[in-house]
């Protein structure tokens, strides 16, 4: 046993260097499993929240698209399939934006109204014309913005959609970051010093023939505070993160509530089209002047679509009130996360309680021998408190931990 590196015996020992190495590997594995079991419940909660929330927003987007499609089918049949294509593209962009795509909300709404105006013009304002040529379509798209043909509705839609989608997007990003934080700390590689301290605490007693000896609780605490000093540095940022999640859920109301905004989009689109119809006389003249050159190349035909004669009373489409909103129901589990706000600061204590450490400091193993009473060296959690830790020497903070802290700081500021 003279070649032992850590479990150096006072007398004879039953351990060889190879056994010591095996114990070392087992100690590291123990630590990893304890860390992962500590975070199981928390990890499940965050993953469940993210999955449930994502499913909820997908349902809302689908309903909103269906409402808008049925508004076109009911009231503007002749625009039919082409309008549905533009509606589909708009809501696909909405979903992609929530999932983190860098599409601009203003661009997607401008594109929707740019595409819609040539349809509205050829079916409602100037019926009897065949479909506009490419040149005429381009002229109408440009005129849409210059003449503000839909009034202030596109702008209103931009404000509401961008505010509500931004809140949803940040919330989903925050939940996914929570999963990333836990996955990172679950699979941390521990320093050589920590590995040696774990071996000494859990297995060196075996090399002394003291197979039943258990580590002193306070001694375990000191070792864990040293091993987990970097991880515990996450604590303040994690508490803030749980607070931020709560703030984000409370903030998703009114124009910041995606469900409220998206499920009412159809009525904004309808009002925008009605606005064009009300101003058709003035518009027709101006468009003839602006796009006349393109219009003359069109052939005239005499079909008047039924859309022109819609009974205005029918336009009051009933809005479907859901007894209980999807997203509000799915925001409730966030409150369960509050009980996990001190997760990182309580890790050392959790691991000692769930490993083989005894709950008191009498007749226990102190890393070298079994003693009657262990007098604990008092250390506090966190890297700054560790220079006085005789069991585990601190080496600067783990780069992955620093990266995670930076990401938490960023999401906490949003």
Would you list the DSSP string of 246-257? HHHHHH-SGGG-
What are the distances in angstroms from CA 271 to CA 150, 163, 277, 284, 286?
9, 21, 10, 19, 21
Q: How far apart are CA 131 and CA 122, in angstroms?
A: 7
Residues 93 and 108 sit within 8 Å (Cβ to Cβ): yes
d(CA 51, CA 309): 46
pTM (2 d.p.): 0.81
What are the C-alpha distances in Å from 244 to residues 174, 250, 272, 413?
A: 9, 10, 37, 9
Residue with tokens 């934006």: 97
Q: Please give the biggest Cα pair distance in the chain.
A: 110
> Contact, 395 vs 388, CB < 8 A?
no
B/e letters for 56-74, b = 16+ CB within 10 Å, e = fewer, are bbeebbebbbebbbebbee
pLDDT digit of tens for each residue in the chain (414 aa)? 467 777 877 767 778 888 888 999 999 999 999 999 999 999 999 998 888 888 888 999 999 999 999 999 999 988 878 899 999 999 999 999 999 999 999 999 999 999 999 999 988 888 876 678 899 999 999 999 999 999 999 999 999 999 999 989 999 999 999 999 999 999 888 888 999 999 999 988 888 888 888 899 888 999 999 999 889 899 999 999 999 988 888 888 777 889 999 999 999 999 999 999 999 989 989 998 888 765 554 444 333 343 443 444 433 444 444 434 555 655 666 778 888 999 999 999 999 988 876 767 778 888 888 888 877 665 556 555 555 566 776 666 678 889 999 999 998 887
Provide the 10 A C-beta neighbour count for residue 337.
19
CA 86, 87, 89, 90 torsion-angle sign: positive
First-to-final CA distance of the chain: 58
Do 204 and 7 meet the contact criterion of CB atoms below 8 Å apart?
Answer: yes
> Which residues face 312 on adjacent strands?
none
* Residue 210 dihedral angles phi and psi, to the nearest 5°: -100, 70
- Sign of CA pseudo-dihedral 46, 48, 50, 52: negative
User: How many whole angstroms from its chain centre is CA 330?
Assistant: 14
Residue 373's beta-bridge partner residues? 362
What are the Cα distances from residue 99, in Å, to 48, 93, 255, 326, 334? Answer: 17, 10, 19, 18, 20
């Amino acid at each position: 046993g003279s070649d032992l590196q850590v479990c150096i015996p006072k007398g004879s020992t039953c351990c060889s260097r190879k056994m010591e190495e095996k114990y070392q590997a087992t100690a590291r594995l123990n630590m990893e499993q304890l860390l992962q079991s500590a975070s199981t419940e928390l990890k499940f909660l965050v993953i469940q929240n993210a999955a449930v929330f994502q499913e909820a927003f997908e349902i809302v987007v689908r309903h909103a698209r269906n409402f808008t499609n049925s508004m076109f089918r009911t009231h503007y049949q002749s625009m039919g399939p082409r309008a549905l294509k533009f509606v589909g593209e708009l809501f696909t962009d909405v979903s992609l934006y929530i999932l983190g795509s860098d599409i601009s909300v203003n661009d997607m709404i401008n594109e929707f109204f740019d595409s819609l105006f040539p349809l509205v013009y050829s079916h409602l304002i100037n019926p009897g014309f065949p479909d506009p040529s490419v040149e005429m379509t381009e002229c109408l798209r440009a005129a849409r913005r210059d003449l503000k043909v839909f009034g202030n509705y596109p702008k209103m839609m931009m404000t509401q959609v961008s505010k509500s989608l931004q809140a949803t997007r940040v919330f989903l990003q925050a939940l996914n970051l929570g999963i990333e934080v836990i996955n990172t700390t679950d699979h941390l590689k521990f320093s050589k010093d920590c590995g040696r301290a774990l071996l000494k605490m859990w297995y060196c007693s075996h090399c002394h023939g003291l197979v039943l000896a258990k580590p002193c609780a306070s001694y375990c605490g000191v070792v864990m505070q040293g091993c987990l000093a970097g991880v515990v540095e996450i604590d303040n940022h994690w508490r803030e993160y749980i607070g931020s999640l709560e703030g984000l859920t409370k903030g998703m109301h009114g124009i910041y509530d995606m469900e409220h905004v998206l499920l009412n989009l159809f009525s904004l689109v309808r009002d925008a089209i009605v606005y064009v119809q009300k101003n058709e006389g003035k518009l027709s003249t101006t468009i003839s002047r602006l796009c006349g050159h393109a219009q003359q190349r069109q052939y005239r035909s005499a079909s008047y679509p039924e859309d022109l004669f819609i009974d205005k009373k029918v336009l009051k489409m009933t809005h479907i009130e859901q007894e209980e909103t999807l997203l509000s129901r799915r925001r409730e589990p966030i409150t369960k996360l509050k009980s996990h706000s001190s997760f990182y600061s309580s890790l050392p204590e959790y691991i000692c309680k769930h490993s083989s450490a005894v709950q008191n400091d009498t007749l226990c193993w102190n890393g070298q021998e079994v003693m009657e009473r262990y007098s604990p060296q008092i250390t506090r959690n966190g890297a700054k408190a560790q220079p006085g830790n005789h069991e585990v020497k601190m080496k600067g903070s783990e780069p992955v931990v620093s990266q995670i802290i930076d990401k938490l700081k960023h999401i906490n500021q949003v």
